[in-house]
Amino acid sequence: MAIELLRHVPTTNFLIVEKNSGLGGTWYENRYPGCACDIRSALYSLSFEQRGNWTRDYSTQEEILKYLDEVSSKWNLQRHIRFDSTVHKAQWDNHQLLWRVRVSTGDLESSMQSQYQLTTDKLISAAGQLNIPRYPDIPGLGSFVGKQMHSARWDSTYDVAGKRIAVIGNGASAFQVVPELAKTASRLMVYQRSPKWIIPRQDQSIGRLDELLLIWVPPSLHAYITNPDYSPSQIEWIVRWMKSQLPDKPDLWDTLTPRYPFGCNRIFPLRWPIQRITATGIQVETEEAQPFDLIVLATGSHTVGFLFSMDIYGLDGRPLRELWKAGAQAYRGVVAEDLPNFGFLYGPNTNLGHNSVIHMIEAQSRYLGKLITAVVEPRLHGQTLALRIRPDALRAYNEQLQNLLSETSWADARCSSWYKTEDGRNVHNWPKNVGQYQAKLAQVHWDDFIAEGSAATSVRKLADRASDRVRWCWMSLVAIGLTLATMITGVRNCSIPSFLLGSALVEKV
């Protein structure tokens, strides 16, 4: 988003407020052993900063963070970033048509923090979807006297070698950390809530030929894009492969094989639910407490809340929590009701079950860049502008979106996943492919917005011009159709005037 502003928006007066001590977001915070991306490296680069010299097909956390640092340095973004700064509250000022943002500075764990207020014409949330660790609600969780840590808050100073380790959870982070811990742990036990579908990663180092292709032949990136749909025969192969990983433990095959559709995540009751955590270990219903030195909480993040760690107040002081009490929703995933001059990156219903979300975020940054330009340009002339989405446009978009989602495997009645609210509404995923999303965000439909302020008429002019362009394109298509029809008729009847009529129509339009 920052680079989009530098490239295409007439301002350098912007600020990035970052709660951590360094940039990188999830790649800064997640440092557990084995942490890596589950999207191929070739697809995990910005389109305008392609990198061909990734070392592996699936890059590690360290390599991705290094890439982000390099891009930031190249564009000199550090001068725009305030680190160790946490946004607690943002409130829209109806009279001044700007946001008042409350920020605290200092380490997140420190009690020595100071606060100040920022004012801004345009506020963008780039907080992501999965950035607040979720701790399980298990009796006795705080009574354990050994070492305990969440996978997203890894203590790299702790030596895991020779330790008795329990991992609670078997999601994405567990899939990565468990094999690494198993290399040196004296004992390792995984407590799962439900089985997960697993496919072989087939990770390997990138050879020199592939590296040259990625650098000099950008279309070769398409070779890394795979079809996310799996046939029944492929799923049968996946089940056989999963069982082959435990050839001497057939008693675990049934426990570890999901009974829900491929590509979905259903929560099953535990075979032996964790009864409680004791001072020295974990106790399940059918056994005595097992002693451990380390408990790893690979239990994911808070999901459906979206920005619940911040207090956001929009038009007339209406809180975002109230707007989203039935579930988060946004127009095209980037703007929400009653939040003037506010935008989202990686907002509601822009998550993917496949492919790289980088492509989604780039489309969003370009779209928001156009909205920011519309707000910034009048400011240069002493005028004000506030843009907010029309409620009817928001409703129509989300009704269509939920209808499309109802046809996906995520909507299966047997499936209960972190993508959905308690009543089954999917607030995270995009139901189509990335190209279709990019096409939707390629153009701003200005008549879908309510404009206020002294420069409101400029937006109405933009809407009128856009309508004129649509009308012109439609008339052109009609004219071309008529031309083709008359040409075909002319050929059939050997009638030259038909061709002339077609040319006249095009020229008139």
The secondary structure of 337-372 as a DSSP string is TT-TTEEESS-TT-B-SSS-HHHHHHHHHHHHHHHH
How many Cβ atoms from other residues are within 10 Å of residue 432's Cβ?
Answer: 13
At 502, the pLDDT band (50, 70, 90 cuts) reads very low
More confident residue, 9 or 494: 9
Q: Which helix (H) or strand (E) holds 228?
A: none
Lowest model confidence (mean pLDDT) among 134-143, 227-236, 300-309, 316-325: 227-236
Q: State what percent of residues in the chain have pLDDT above 70.
A: 79
Whole-angstrom distance, CA of residue 31 vs CA of residue 33? 7
pTM reported for the whole predicted model: 0.79
Indicate the range of 19-33, 356-370, 403-417, 470-484 predicted with least confidence. 470-484
**CA-to-CA separations, 19 to 3, 81, 106, in angstroms, rounded:** 20, 10, 9
The pLDDT, as a whole number, for residue 419 is 76
What confidence tier does 330 reach under pLDDT thresholds 50, 70, 90? very high
Measure Cα distances from 271 to 168, 238, 249, 268, 484 in Å.
Answer: 14, 23, 17, 9, 68
Residue 298 has pLDDT above 50, yes or no: yes
Quick one: pLDDT at residue 225?
54
User: Can you give the pLDDT at residue 69?
Assistant: 96
How far is CA 369 from its chain centroid?
Answer: 18
Q: With 60 as the cut, is the pLDDT of residue 220 above it?
A: no
**The CATH number of domain 2-19+84-132+303-454, selected from 3.30.10.20, 1.25.40.10, 3.30.300.210, 3.50.50.60:** 3.50.50.60
Asked if the model's pLDDT at residue 184 lies above 90, the reply is yes
Decide: 105 and 325 in contact? Cβ < 8 Å. Answer: no
Contact 2, 14 (CB under 8 A): yes
Residue 508 has pLDDT above 50, yes or no: no
| The pLDDT of residue 60 | 93
The separation between the first and the last C-alpha atoms of the chain, rounded to the nearest angstrom, is: 39
* Better-scored residue on pLDDT, 152 or 461: 152
Phi, psi angles (nearest 5°) of residue 313? -120, 120
List the one residue out of 33, 36, 34, 300 whose CA is nearest residue 168: 300
Q: What is the pLDDT of residue 489?
A: 42
- pLDDT for residue 301: 79
Q: Measured between alpha carbons, how far is 336 from 323 in angstroms, rounded to an integer?
A: 9
Q: With a cut of 70, say whether residue 186 has pLDDT above it.
A: yes
Q: What is the mean pLDDT of residues 205-220?
A: 63
Average pLDDT, whole number, for the chain?
Answer: 82
Q: H/E element holding 374?
A: helix 357-379
Q: Mean pLDDT highest for which of 16-20, 37-41, 226-230?
A: 16-20
**What integer pLDDT is reported at residue 413 of this predicted model?**
66
pLDDT value at residue 44: 86
pLDDT in tens, 32-90: 999 998 888 888 889 899 887 888 888 999 999 999 999 999 999 999 999 999 999 99
Coil, strand, or helix at residue 193? coil
As a whole number of angstroms, the distance between CA 297 and CA 365 comes to 34
Q: Is the pLDDT of residue 110 over 80?
A: no
The pLDDT score that the predictor gives to residue 120 is: 96
Give the largest Cα separation in the chain, rounded: 95
Residue 367: pLDDT over 90? yes
Instruction: Look at residue 503 in the predicted model and tell me its pLDDT.
Output: 28
Assess contact for 221 and 434: CB atoms under 8 A: no
Q: What is the pLDDT of residue 29?
A: 92
Asked if pLDDT for residue 304 goes beyond 60, the answer is: no
**Worst-scoring range by mean pLDDT, 164-168, 447-451, 486-490?**
486-490
More confident of the two residues 305 and 8? 8
Residue 248 confidence (pLDDT): 81
